[in-house]
A and B are shown apart, each in its own frame.
Chain A
Amino acid sequence: MSKSRLSGVARLPHYRPDPAGTHPPLLSPDYASTQLRAPLKAPVDLPQRLTEVTGPVLGDGLVRPGDADLTRGYAEEPAGQRIIVSGRLLDSDGRTIPHNLVEIWQANAAGRYRHDRDNWPAPLDPNFDGMGRTLTDAEGRYSFTTVKPGAYPWRNHHNAWRPAHIHFSLFGRSFTQRLVTQMYFPDDPLFGQDPIFNSVPESARQRMIANLSLADTRPDWALAFRFDIVLRGSVATPLESEG
């Protein structure tokens, strides 16, 4: 096969790096677990080729409609305050990312995860597993119905408590855009002592905090929070081999 496999592709996207000050440094000593897990050597620049600018795309039929409602699927509704969390998946150029997988997981209203290694004395909820999945729609929108997670203690430092948060996992259109983050709630008084939240440069922290959205609130049913997620943007570049 002498003909380039790329001959049918006029342009490949190139994903721009996020500006300095967007993401936390891997070594953030106040978050103790980074000390033995953060790589210490400088990373090597990997020029973006086909492996990097492609990425997994979820086919239809693997996410069921009910997966976006964490309050269903059990005999009763879970304890706690029912909320709607919705927003758009975008890139930093403002382009929406349709039909893309969004995965979330969270503690229950008492701050307890349904997990073997979470055994602090807060109650498990038999009606809540804390896992949600959905695909963004044609306009890049997603929506979950869930309950507001509780704060929980952890052993990072004396009397350490995580602010309430929901874990989010996103894929985007390419390997380069993969992102896992956490969504926080407005005005949480625990922000000041949380080294995970504060690992992010101050100017970018606000982007992890959802906004209360009265417009999305369903009267007599559920408060609503809006959380847009922004992945790296891209520019189309000519193939260097096109000359």
Chain B
Amino acid sequence: MTGLGSTPSQTVGPFLSIGMTWEGGEYVVPDGAPDAFWIHGRLLDGAGDAVPDGVIETWQADRSGAFGHALTPLGSAVENVENVGGFGGFGRSLTGPDGQYGVHTVKPGRVDDGHGGFQAPHLDVSVLARGLLHRVITRIYFADEVEGNAADPVLSALPDDHARSTLIAQLDGHGGYALDIWLQGVAETVFFTV
């Protein structure tokens, strides 16, 4: 097949908020939705400094493990994830002056792994920022899904617990979850190619 060359990636630059501010974007589910919580944390660089000009985008299944997408099988309509801004299961949070991001959502269900098993509840994450020439991709898992995480094929394929820990959001004591994302440094987050 004669392919067209893909368009190269470029950085979002420092002024991404002009084009990427989406009203209600951080609300994957509305305020007051049952069992909703915030996942939050800081985006940090290799010196431990905040990255205030970045954006965290999340993509996830609903509570039943279905996606708001045409590939979701007939009969498994997405009942539970209804983004305020209109993308089912999509969240977008611009980082603040202290590098802080936050997405208001519900825990996704287990997702079929295509081999007859399941993946633990997770979010796929894109990180874009000034200084990133293309997005970097990571995942967020949940610390209170101990059994599911232990059996998850993606977490299991990582070399050690330190690597796994960079993807697992901890209970924050306020009903939500916290996870810092380190672009670089000793705590560098595990990033993926897809």
**What residues make up the interface of A, taking CB atoms closer than 8 Å to B?**
4-9, 12-13, 15, 17-18, 22-26, 28, 31, 33-41, 43-46, 48-59, 61-62, 90-94, 103-105, 113-115, 117-118, 129-132, 167, 169, 174-176, 178-182, 196, 199-201, 204-205, 207-208, 229-233, 239-241
Determine whether the beta carbon of A180 is less than 8 Å from that of B87: no
Closest to A52 in B: B194
Determine whether the beta carbon of B133 is less than 8 Å from that of A39: no
Determine whether the beta carbon of A8 is less than 8 Å from that of B111: no
> Quick one: given A44-B193, A105-B15, are A207 and B8 in contact (CB under 8 Å)?
yes
Across-interface contacts of A114 in B (CB, < 8 A): 18
Determine whether the beta carbon of A36 is less than 8 Å from that of B4: no
Of the listed stretches B32-40, B64-72, B170-178, chain A binds B64-72
Q: Please tell me which one of the listed residues B19, B59, B68, B136 contacts residue A103 in the complex, with CB atoms under 8 A apart.
A: B19
A231 to B67, CA, bound (A): 21
B91 CB → nearest A CB, Å: 9
> Is B102 an interface residue when CB atoms closer than 8 A count as contact?
no
Determine whether the beta carbon of A18 is less than 8 Å from that of B112: no
SS of A interface (majority): loop
Across-interface contacts of A53 in B (CB, < 8 A): 71
A199 to B8, CA, bound (A): 10
SS of B interface (majority): loop
**Most chain B CB inside 10 Å of its own CB: which residue of A12, A26, A34:** A26
* 4 interchain residue pairs of minimum CB distance: A105-B19, A8-B73, A33-B131, A56-B90
> Quick one: given A58-B86, A113-B18, A180-B9, are A39 and B183 in contact (CB under 8 Å)?
yes
Beyond A117-B14, A167-B16, A241-B114, 8 extra complex contacts between A and B, CB < 8 Å:
A37-B129, A40-B188, A44-B157, A50-B61, A58-B87, A103-B19, A105-B15, A180-B12
A218 to B191, CA, bound (A): 46
Determine whether the beta carbon of A54 is less than 8 Å from that of B12: no
Across-interface contacts of A9 in B (CB, < 8 A): 71, 73
Across-interface contacts of A196 in B (CB, < 8 A): 10-11, 133
> Is B103 an interface residue when CB atoms closer than 8 A count as contact?
no
Determine whether the beta carbon of B114 is less than 8 Å from that of A113: no
Determine whether the beta carbon of B133 is less than 8 Å from that of A31: yes
A12 to B69, CA, bound (A): 12
